[in-house]
Amino acid sequence: MKKVIAEVIGPNAPCHRCITVKETVQAVAQKLEAEGIKVEVKRLDIMSREVIRKYGLLLSPALAVNGVVKMMGWVPDKEEVEAILRDEAGKQQ
Amino acid sequence: MNQIAHLTRTILLLAFVIAVIGGVVYTRIAAYSLAPTMKPAHFQGLSLLQIPVVYIIDYLSHGWLCLLFAFVAAGLVYEFMPKEVITRYMSSNKAMGYALGAGIAPFFTVCSCTMVPLFAGILYTGAGIGPSLTFLLMAPSANILTILLTGEILSWELAGVRIVASIIAAVIAGLVISRTPWGKSVEKENQSSSPNPQAAIRTVKPPLDDRIWGAFKFGGYLAKQILPYFFLGLVAVSYVEAYLAEEIVATYLTGIGGILLASVIGGPLYTPTLVEIVLGRGLMDLGMSKAAMLSWLMGQPYDIPNMVATSRIVRWKVVLNYALIAWVFSVAFGLTYGVLTASL
């Protein structure tokens, strides 16, 4: 089983766009789970010091996969999220 | 096949962008007004319910292009601004921080939910309290949407003055606060010793047509957030224009007293974005002076939700301080502008 950690980074309380991103990622995660890719979806606060120490300055909403920020300041659709997650899972072979 | 589909979409989307820009350019050439044209006298004889309806129809019959352009432009600028620039160079050195905060930052922040997190981010990555505050003050008073609509609805002269005045006020507020004891203590708490974390960013760029479409979607999202308030504002403005006597505006919103009053009520009114611009138009039609208008527009940085959000990141003293500085500047620029253009 391949495992991918997807972190959706946005402000607390979440704004509309960050909620959309998280829902998209969760929907894609469900789909990929059936194919043997386990996606762990987390939500991080963009204003917490730990997140900024780790990733630096980000535009909200941002999506990090396995510790690398893959997109920021933009709401991707399902196909884009799926491509990013598959790509990352493919590296684990 | 897939490539042809992408290409067709790109062409169609670009054609739409060009059509919108062309439309706006054409109105410039034809000297066609995109702002509300109804004057207070036109409201006579209309019933209480008719007033907002007639006003909104009048506004939309020529204002729709201006709104469409503003939201399309805001979406495109936000999408195609090289975002890495700000995240990479903002904390590189102080002068760069101030320059970016004042110069580029406004283009990123058409939406308040990106503004306060960015402010926190800039501060926590060690850019210092000064540039962070410059960014925070600059963003609402001179972002792309506000400037476009100030220009179209009020006047381009005021929009220009507003940008310049905001830059000066934001940079000086940043410089002053970074020298106060409490500003310094905030800065010390947030000094960054960690290595440059930018190595962890490898953003994926979608194809051009998806980016343009994304820009439209973002523009649409902004419109959805802002337009309801904007229309409520229009309703309020229609009543203001219909019922507020010109003598009251002429007495209270002109001269030095007018600047003081406008600078105080402008800030809290900012809450629903862009309403202050429409309302300002109504008041100017009734005789509010241009100088008071500038103070009114510059009052934004100390609006209340903004201050509450910021006070969770830095202490209240800093917030009150920058609000005070912003207020002083809004009055000072109102006065200077009034004296220079003889429009007190």
- Separation in Å, CA of A55 to nearest CA in chain B: 5
Single-letter residue type at A75: V
Contact criterion met (CB < 8 Å) for A70 and B203: yes
Contact B266, B330 (CB under 8 A): yes
pLDDT for B147 beyond 70: yes
Q: Which residues of A touch B79 (CB under 8 A)?
A: 74
Handedness of CA B208, B209, B214, B216 (dihedral sign): positive
| Residue pairs spanning A and B at CB distance below 8 A | 97
pLDDT for residue B325: 86
What is the domain partition of chain A in residue ranges? 2-75
Chain B residue set in contact with A, beta carbons under 8 Å: 78-79, 83, 86-87, 90-91, 108, 111, 113-114, 116-118, 120-122, 124-125, 192, 194, 196-198, 200-204, 206, 210, 214, 217-218, 221, 225, 313
Single-letter residue type at B92: S
* pLDDT band at residue B163 under the 50/70/90 scheme: confident
**pTM to 2 decimal places:** 0.78
Taking every pair of Cα atoms in chain A, the longest distance, rounded to a whole number of angstroms, is: 38
Average pLDDT, chain B: 79
Residue of chain B whose Cα is closest to the Cα of A80: B206
Find which of B109-113, B187-191, B279-283, B329-333 is predicted with most confidence, using mean pLDDT: B329-333
Question: How large is the average pLDDT for residues B79-104?
Answer: 75
Q: Which residues of B touch A56 (CB under 8 A)?
A: 87, 121, 125, 196-198, 200-201
Residue of chain B whose Cα is closest to the Cα of A51: B121
* pLDDT band at residue B228 under the 50/70/90 scheme: confident
Question: How large is the average pLDDT for residues B223-247?
Answer: 82
Q: Which residues of A touch B218 (CB under 8 A)?
A: 74-75
Q: Which residues of B touch A13 (CB under 8 A)?
A: none
The domain A2-75 is placed in CATH, from the list 3.50.50.60, 3.40.50.1980, 3.40.50.620, 3.40.30.10, at 3.40.30.10
Residues 51-70 of A with CB under 8 A from B: 52-60, 64, 67-70
Number of Cβ atoms within 10 Å of the Cβ of B188: 9
pLDDT for B300 beyond 80: no
Q: Which residues of B touch A80 (CB under 8 A)?
A: 204, 206, 210
Which of A17, A56, A64 has the CB atom closest to B198's CB atom?
Answer: A56
pLDDT for residue B87: 67
Q: Residues B271-297: pLDDT tens digits?
A: 445 777 888 888 888 888 888 888 888
Find which of A48-52, B31-35, B108-112 is predicted with most confidence, using mean pLDDT: A48-52
Contact criterion met (CB < 8 Å) for B198 and A54: no
User: What region, left, alpha or beta, does residue A4 occupy, with left being phi > 0 and alpha being psi -120 to 50 degrees?
Assistant: beta
CB-based contact (8 Å) between A74 and chain B? yes
pLDDT for residue B252: 79
Q: Kind of pairing, strands A37-45 and A2-10?
A: parallel
Q: CA-to-CA distance for B258 and B108, rounded, in angstroms?
A: 33
Q: CA-to-CA distance for B67 and B57, rounded, in angstroms?
A: 14
Which of A18, A47, A68 has the CB atom closest to B313's CB atom?
Answer: A47
pLDDT for residue B187: 75
Contact B37, B56 (CB under 8 A): no
pLDDT for residue A83: 86
* pLDDT band at residue A4 under the 50/70/90 scheme: confident
pLDDT for B342 beyond 70: yes
pLDDT for residue B267: 66
Find which of B27-36, B141-150, B302-311 is predicted with most confidence, using mean pLDDT: B141-150
pLDDT for residue B109: 61
CB-based contact (8 Å) between A27 and chain B? no
Question: How large is the average pLDDT for residues B220-247?
Answer: 82
Single-letter residue type at B44: Q
How is chain A split among helix, strand and coil, in percent rounded to 5?
40, 30, 30
Least confident of B36-45, B228-237, B256-265: B36-45
Contact criterion met (CB < 8 Å) for A56 and B196: yes
Average pLDDT, chain A: 84
Which of B117, B122, B197 has the CB atom closest to A11's CB atom?
Answer: B117
